[in-house]
Amino acid sequence: MRNFLIGVFIFWLIIVGLIIDHEKKTTGPAVIQGKNNTNKTEIVFWHAMGGPLGIVMNRMIDRYNAGQENYHVKSVNMGGYDTLAKKVLASLVANEAPDISQNYETLTKKFIRHNKIVCLDDLIEADIKNGGEDIKKDIIPVLLENNTFAGKLYSFPFNKSVPVLYYNKDMFKEVGLEPNTPPKTLDELAEFSRIIRNYYLKLSENAKTEAEKLRYKENYGYGCSKANVWGFLNRIMQFGGYIVKRNEEDILVSGFNEQPAINALSHLQEMVKEGTAREGQAFDHQNDFIAGKVGIIESSIISKVFMEEDIIFNYGVASLPGVIINNEINNGVILSGSNINIFNNEDPKKIAGAWDFVKWFTSTENGAEWSIGTTYLPVRKSSVDSKTIKDARKADPNLNAGYEQLGHCNFEPRLTAWFEIRDMLADYIEESSLKMGNPKTYCDRMKNDVDSKLRYVTDKDE
Amino acid sequence: MPNKTKVDWGAYLYLMPVVAILVAFHVLPIFYSLAVSFYEWDLIGSPEFVGANNYKQLFHDPMFFKSIWNTIKYAVISVPLSILLSMGIAILLNNPIKGIGVYRTIYFIPVITSINAVAIVWNFIYHPDFGLLNKILSWFGTDPVAWLQDPDWALPAIIFMSVWKGLGHNIIIFLAGLQNIPKHLYEAARIDGASRWQQFRHITWPLLSPTTFFIFTMSTIGSFQVFSQVYMMTPRGGPLKSTMVVVYYLYRKAFEQFEFGYALAMAFVLFMVIFACTLFNKLYLEKKVHYS
């Protein structure tokens, strides 16, 4: 027995050793990219870009480093956004902050309050004085507004995305829908999902074998993730509502008890109740789409780069459907993704290097390259109008939906209590689809709970 | 004249490194945490003294009470279940059967496996569509169950996995306890015509009680501190917060919402709860333990 266990252990060691050796030879170091063997000023960049996104980013960083005489960017992948946020906070406590990192707006507000980051307006003003460009004029307005706090730009938009619809063109054709006509309104989305579901239910009834019966029965019209706050907030925008605003008495109030929010919640609830929609955990809906079990899914535009290699059917990417208000389709989406902060490490050389890298990365052509490679939105208006993006859109029309929605983008409230409120919303959305109660009741409770949190919010710039 | 005892200061010198480590990494952080529980602190800025506000707020927080209730449910089910199963298996493994070492190893493997790796595997086992458990149940005509997505099943699913994971540890301790029971007592009982149940009831159970008491106490403390499996298997505290346990809630407050003072107040309330339970075990249950 002992010899057997020792044998197993040695075998395991050899296998692990061989795998590590192979990984080293093929990919190089997994986490930290870009070794600085020169006298250049090192700029440490903490981010959460993994997988295909990280590959595009590291390729661009390598190019920046190769063309640089003064600075060297060290790219450090911290895993997910949550881990990154925790590590950034810990590093600030230990006075070991990186030079730049990706962060959400709520954290940026914390950093501003404690004077931990550099105000980018100061750097832009210095650029203008030295004959450089006023970069703010070229930033897409909603992204500029999203990163402006008390009238000043404190973070730089970096990897911003929008939600889109993915639809299976082959399945559309099979069930009798026009393969190049995705749903334009939420009513159409519900109708198309019903057609798909009913088609497969009929096939299931007439199936000859039990396996076939089960296979057809598992096909749904629409799929999304459970407790999907992003989806709910998008719907509120589409129904013409608002999330949080200041009332006449300058008090923050939420709009969750109003009709657009009730409609937003009941739309998905109805589809789940009817059996045409299916909610999955985390990325289950994407897997179902790839497996051809769901005809339409709602997901981030960046899901495209994660899914496209595995999709073996014709698929399309479309803007989120809207709602007809006053005879016009009202579209509305909420931005997702993070921004860049430059930390105030009191080393002018490092701050200058960090700013140089941010400007280079988001410049017209590099921004266009980043956008095409990852599907993230470009930061500059000139990138959107660039030949690079226009050619790419012509070559792959599935890229269009992201750019098309730029005109009706909104962003989530940037309150420091927003993460907690978001979690509350997720609970109510989950409860509404699990218990199928009256949407108005959930929305009233949502409003009540959120407003009681908002009463204690003292920060501005929501 | 009384004899003067000479103090050997060298002994204290030898103790110094361990004492220094204990003070630096155990004692001071505890007192520091206790102090911070009276402050509001988001980690970056300076802590702001708020007195007992964090504690007051805690007792008006419905999620805190929900997390306490879930933790109690977890402890009340998992501890006795784990003890009964591990004691039963230990008694079976205490027999001189062929390949006993292999069985003992198999039961101990989950204990030495990382909880994170185990949780990922169990996520697949519990998957509603392609999970092993639903596949097995389907052979008996049972409809698929969304184990980790159904508010009624999520906590039992976590408990079952945790019991499985910790079984080997308890089995080894029970085995040690069983091997300490003198064989002649069983021989005498058999000569007197005692059945297997009578032998268990009157010999094994009372003489194993110090081991059972030890496992009960340690498992209770451990079950109040359950975290990793909840974090890994049911993000956000499970469907309708059905698996939101105290330590996970504390973690979310501290490391996701950056309310460190509040989280530490919660940690000290949890400490008091565990302390009270352990004290109850010591004062009440220990009286029923046969140490010889």
Phi/psi for B77 (5° steps) reads: -85, -45
Residue A218 lies in a domain: yes
What is the distance between the terminal CA atoms of chain A, rounded to a whole angstrom?
Answer: 65
State the alpha helices, DSSP H only, in A308-438. Answer: 348-361, 364-374, 381-384, 387-395, 400-404, 418-435
Residue A17 lies in a domain: no
Task: Report the amino acid identity of residue A289.
Answer: F
Do A156 and A171 reside in the same domain of the chain? no
CB contact burial A97-120 (16+ within 10 A = b; e otherwise): bbbbbbbbbbbbbbbbeeebbbbb
From chain B, the residues in CB contact with A92 under 8 A are: 43-44
A89 closest CB neighbour out of B43, B239, B240: B43
pLDDT of residue A10: 80
Per-residue pLDDT of chain B (292 residues), as tens digits, is 556 677 788 888 999 999 999 999 999 999 999 999 999 998 888 899 999 999 999 999 999 999 999 999 999 999 999 999 999 999 999 988 888 888 888 889 999 999 999 999 999 999 988 899 999 999 998 888 999 999 999 999 999 999 999 999 999 999 999 999 999 999 999 999 999 999 999 999 999 999 999 999 999 999 999 999 999 999 889 999 999 999 999 999 998 888 999 999 999 999 999 999 999 988 988 887 877 6
Phi/psi for B170 (5° steps) reads: -65, -35
A82, B256: Cβ pair inside 8 Å? yes
B239, A427: Cβ pair inside 8 Å? no
Do A351 and A266 reside in the same domain of the chain? no
A1, B105: Cβ pair inside 8 Å? yes
State the alpha helices, DSSP H only, in A218-340. Answer: 229-238, 259-274, 284-290, 303-307
Cβ contacts of residue B63 below 8 Å, gap of 6+? B241, B244, B249
B45 closest CB neighbour out of A114, A227, A419: A114
pLDDT at A462 over 70: no
Pairing of strands A336-342, A100-103: antiparallel
Query: In Å, how far are B125, B127, B133 from B130, measured between CA atoms?
Result: 8, 6, 9
DSSP string for residues in A312-332: -S-EEEEPPPBEEETTEEE--
Residue B248 lies in a domain: yes
Pairing of strands B48-49, A100-103: unpaired
User: What integer is the mean pLDDT of A214-241?
Assistant: 94
pLDDT digits (tens, 9 = 90+) for A407-437: 899 999 999 889 889 999 999 999 999 999 9
Do A358 and A235 reside in the same domain of the chain? no
Task: Report the amino acid identity of residue A7.
Answer: G
Pairing of strands A409-410, A333-334: parallel
How far is the C-alpha of B148 from the C-alpha of B251, rounded, in Å?
Answer: 20
Count of domains for chain A: 2
Which region holds residue A337: left if phi is over 0, alpha if psi is between -120 and 50, else beta?
left
Q: Does A434 touch chain B (CB under 8 A)?
A: yes
- The residue of chain B with its CA nearest to that of A116 is B44
Residue A6 lies in a domain: no
From chain B, the residues in CB contact with A86 under 8 A are: 255
pLDDT of residue B175: 93
Q: What share of chain A in percent tops pLDDT 90?
A: 79
How far is the C-alpha of A353 from the C-alpha of B213, rounded, in Å?
Answer: 63
Residue B6 lies in a domain: no
For chain A, the maximum distance between any two Cα atoms, rounded to a whole number of angstroms, is: 79
From chain A, the residues in CB contact with B255 under 8 A are: 86
Residue B67 lies in a domain: yes
Residue A462 lies in a domain: no
A1, B45: Cβ pair inside 8 Å? no
- Token output for A456: 């204690």
DSSP string for residues in A145-161: HHTEETTEE-SEEEEEE
B236, A227: Cβ pair inside 8 Å? yes
User: What integer is the mean pLDDT of A332-359?
Assistant: 95
pLDDT at A31 over 60: no
How far is the C-alpha of A90 from the C-alpha of A97, rounded, in Å?
Answer: 8
Do A214 and A257 reside in the same domain of the chain? yes
From chain A, the residues in CB contact with B45 under 8 A are: 110, 113-114
From chain A, the residues in CB contact with B143 under 8 A are: none
Residue B17 lies in a domain: no
pLDDT digits (tens, 9 = 90+) for A116-134: 999 999 999 999 999 988 9
Residues of B in CB contact (< 8 Å) with A are 42-45, 101-102, 105, 129, 148-149, 151, 235-236, 239-241, 252, 255-258
How far is the C-alpha of A268 from the C-alpha of A74, rounded, in Å?
Answer: 44
Do A400 and A260 reside in the same domain of the chain? no
Domain CATH code at residue B225 = 1.10.3720.10
On the CB side of B119, how many CA atoms lie within 13 Å of its CA?
A: 15
- The residue of chain B with its CA nearest to that of A282 is B235
Tell me how many residue pairs between chain A and chain B have CB atoms under 8 A apart.
44
pLDDT digits (tens, 9 = 90+) for B58-103: 999 999 999 999 999 999 999 999 999 999 999 999 988 888 888 8
A226, B149: Cβ pair inside 8 Å? yes
Do A312 and A216 reside in the same domain of the chain? yes
Do A151 and A167 reside in the same domain of the chain? no
Count of domains for chain B: 1
Q: Does A111 touch chain B (CB under 8 A)?
A: yes
How far is the C-alpha of A344 from the C-alpha of A364, rounded, in Å?
Answer: 27
- Token output for A56: 């595009």
B257, A420: Cβ pair inside 8 Å? yes
B36: how many CB neighbours lie within 10 A of its CB?
18
pLDDT of residue B287: 80
The complex's ipTM works out to 0.82
How far is the C-alpha of A352 from the C-alpha of A354, rounded, in Å?
Answer: 6
Substitution target in A1, A2, A117 with the highest count of B β-carbons within 10 Å is: A1
From chain B, the residues in CB contact with A282 under 8 A are: 235
Residue A170 domain boundaries: 163-334+415-454
DSSP string for residues in A177-231: --TT----BHHHHHHHHHHHHHHHHHHHHH-SSHHHHHHHHT-EEEEEETT-HHH
What is the distance between the terminal CA atoms of chain B, rounded to a whole angstrom?
Answer: 43
Do A178 and A119 reside in the same domain of the chain? no
- The residue of chain B with its CA nearest to that of A418 is B257
**Mean pLDDT for all residues in chain A:** 92
Do A155 and A167 reside in the same domain of the chain? no
How far is the C-alpha of A198 from the C-alpha of A178, rounded, in Å?
Answer: 16
Residue B267 lies in a domain: yes
- The DSSP output letter for B201 is I
CB contact burial B178-207 (16+ within 10 A = b; e otherwise): beebeeeeeeebeeeebeeeebeeebbeeb
Residue B66 domain boundaries: 53-288
pLDDT at A28 over 50: no
Q: Give the distance, in angstroms, between the CA of residue A184 and the centroid of all CA atoms in the same chain.
A: 22
- The residue of chain A with its CA nearest to that of B237 is A427
How far is the C-alpha of A132 from the C-alpha of A125, rounded, in Å?
Answer: 9
**Contacts of the segment B58-61: beta carbons below 8 A, 24+ positions apart:** B58/B262, B58/B265, B58/B266, B58/B269
Q: Which residue has the tokens 């109003």?
A: A258
- Lowest mean pLDDT: which of A256-265, A307-316, B89-98? B89-98
What angle is formed at CA B59 by the lines to CA A428 and CA B248, rounded to 5 degrees?
60
Which region holds residue A79: left if phi is over 0, alpha if psi is between -120 and 50, else beta?
left
Do A140 and A250 reside in the same domain of the chain? no
Do A311 and A393 reside in the same domain of the chain? no
Q: Does A86 touch chain B (CB under 8 A)?
A: yes
pLDDT of residue A461: 65
- Token output for B56: 């007051």
For residue A179, give how far its alpha carbon lies from the nearest alpha carbon of chain B (Å).
Answer: 28
DSSP string for residues in B92-113: HHTS--TTHHHHHHHHHHHHHS
pLDDT of residue B292: 60
Residue B239 lies in a domain: yes
Do A319 and A421 reside in the same domain of the chain? yes
Q: Which residue has the tokens 């008996």?
A: B140
pLDDT digits (tens, 9 = 90+) for A42-79: 999 999 999 999 999 999 999 999 999 999 999 999 98
CB A155 within 8 A of CB A340: yes
| DSSP H or E stretch at residue A447 | helix A439-454
Domain CATH code at residue A184 = 3.40.190.10
Residue A2 lies in a domain: no
Residue B44 lies in a domain: no
Q: Which of A420, A423, A425, A424 minimizes the C-alpha distance to A457?
A: A420
Residue B40 lies in a domain: no
- Token output for A269: 């609830």
From chain B, the residues in CB contact with A111 under 8 A are: 44
Residue A25 lies in a domain: no
What angle is formed at CA B22 by the lines to CA B217 and CA B9, rounded to 5 degrees?
120
pLDDT band at A29 (very low <50, low <70, confident <90, very high): very low
pLDDT of residue A17: 77
